[in-house]
Amino acid sequence: MASICFVLFVLFVSGMAVSIARATDVAPVMAAATVSGAVSTQRQTELIRMVRQDCGSCHGMSLRGGLGSPLLPETLRDKPVDGLVATVMQGRPGTAMPPWKAMMTEAEAVWIVARLLAGFPQE
């Protein structure tokens, strides 16, 4: 969570008003994913495949829901961004949602959340 706070602080200091209370405005989240950098084009391709294949096995191949809830912009936009990132990294104890922290960095989880909020790309 510290890196998310740092990214949001950087955006705030640079004059961008960032609110992580709710994900209603995708632009600051996308900017945070860009500023947090370090997600190479190759890794982005890998992450897209991971979300489509691994997450899609529970959330539906089109991310419209299944065993897991839908991962569409309209179903995520009222959720706190930091909570979405925490869910990706830590999972949801007592549910089928596993933690992914062994498979990705926090910056990569921010990148995934930003893309989910904008409409996740196809493979």
Q: What is the DSSP string of the chain?
A: -HHHHHHHHHHHHTT-----S-TT-HHHHHHHHHHT----HHHHHHHHHHIIIIIHHHH-TTSS-SSSPP--HHHHTTS-HHHHHHHHHH--TTSS----TTTS-HHHHHHHHHHHHH-PPP-
122 pLDDT band (50/70/90 cuts)? confident
Give yes or no for a contact between 91 and 100, defined as CB atoms under 8 angstroms apart.
yes
Digit-coded pLDDT (tens) for 19-53: 344 455 555 655 555 544 679 999 999 999 999 99
Q: 2-118: which CATH architecture?
A: Orthogonal Bundle (1.10)
Q: Whole-model pTM?
A: 0.74
